[in-house]
Amino acid sequence: MTISVSIDRGIARVTLNRPEVHNALNAAMIADLHGAFCRLGDDAGVRLVVLTGTGKNFSAGADLNWMQQAAAQDFDANRKDAMALAQMLYTIDSCPKPVVAVVNGAALGGGVGLVACCDIVVAQPSAQFGLTEVRIGLIPATISPYVTRRIGETQARRYMLTGERFDAETARRIGLVHEIGDDAGAIISNLMANGPDALADTKALIRDVAHATMDEALLAMTAERIAARRASPEGREGIAAFLEKRKPGWAQ
């Protein structure tokens, strides 16, 4: 396997495991990541997913040997390979469980795409980032929706066009990274204190309201969602636990 997956007390850890090529993405890793996030998203025993890389670097982006082989195929086969990457990124982005990236070393090209698909990102102080596709005559196509949404069009224009590398502090300033540190322990603890179904519903809510027009339909949708959550078993347990000054069942 190009990745390793472990689950301990509701926390799944997905580790990119091609350190000899700086965890570069190839067809096998793309398929393994897609399958892992599909399974973890459906696993009721999993509360959250941590994504990181083994070795010195998080991910150097696409494996150039794989890219060269894909480019040598006819257009339909080449497009199929690219579509597999696009679908893998979407699977991570839409995973119903919170996904936390812990970035070690360099995250370049597609590695930045992986980071942008995660809900929360912690970068080690020495982490480096770069949207370097243009340096080798390519474009950051499949990752562009996630990266542009994350850092905004203005920053995307700079970093996608220059291909320059930037440090963890810059990544935090432009919105790619949330925290700088060596681990995500505090963030994981906060996530584990929350209702699992509420987290999934909140992720879906954010996606649906982020670019929605403020109109009667949006007001009705948000009202319906909170009404349904208040009446849900998890919502009732959470309210009761707060009023009774005890931990809710999911936090025992």
pLDDT of residue 65: 87
Contact 119, 187 (CB under 8 A): no
- Cβ atoms of 147 and 131 within 8 Å: the answer is yes
* pLDDT, average across residues 129-152: 97
pLDDT for 92 equals: 98
Are 119 and 111 within 8 A, CB to CB?
no
Q: Percent of the chain scored above 90 by pLDDT? A: 89
Catalytic residue chosen out of the listed positions 20, 133, 164, 244: 133
Residue 85 confidence (pLDDT)? 95
Per-residue pLDDT band for 66 (boundaries 50, 70, 90) equals confident
Q: What is the average pLDDT across 200-209? A: 96
Q: What is the CATH number of domain 3-189?
A: 3.90.226.10
Give the range among 7-21, 59-73, 152-166 with minimum mean pLDDT.
59-73
Instruction: Name the maximum alpha-carbon separation found in the chain.
Output: 65
Q: Give me the mean pLDDT over the 149-162 stretch.
A: 98
Task: Sketch the domain layout of the chain as residue ranges.
Answer: 3-189, 195-251
pLDDT at 67: 82
Q: Look at residue 28 and tell me whether its pLDDT is greater than 90.
A: yes
Q: Count CA atoms within 13 Å of residue 212 on its CB side.
A: 16
State the DSSP string of the chain: --EEEEEETTEEEEEE--GGGTT-B-HHHHHHHHHHHHHHHH-TT--EEEEEESSS-SB-SB-HHHHHHHHTS-HHHHHHHHHHHHHHHHHHHT-SS-EEEEE-SEEETHHHHHHHHSSEEEE-TT-EEE--GGGGT---TTTHHHHHHHHHHHHHHHHHHH--EEEHHHHHHTTS-SEESS--HHHHHHHHTS-HHHHHHHHHHHHHHTT---SHHHHHHHHHHHHHHHHSHHHHHHHHHHHTTS--GGG-
Q: Are 143 and 113 in contact (CB under 8 A)?
A: yes
Could you tell me the pLDDT band of residue 2, with boundaries at 50, 70 and 90? very high
CA dihedral 154, 155, 159, 161 (to 10 degrees): -10
Whether 133 is catalytic: yes
pLDDT of residue 252 exceeding 80, the answer is no
Residue 68 confidence (pLDDT) above 90: no
Q: What is the mean pLDDT of the chain?
A: 95
The Cα–Cα gap between 12 and 5 comes to: 7
pTM: 0.95
- The CATH architecture that domain 195-251 belongs to is Orthogonal Bundle (1.10)
Percent of the chain with pLDDT over 70: 100
**pLDDT band for position 59 (cuts 50, 70, 90):** very high
Q: What band does 71 get if pLDDT is binned at 50, 70 and 90?
A: confident
Mean pLDDT of 12-25: 97
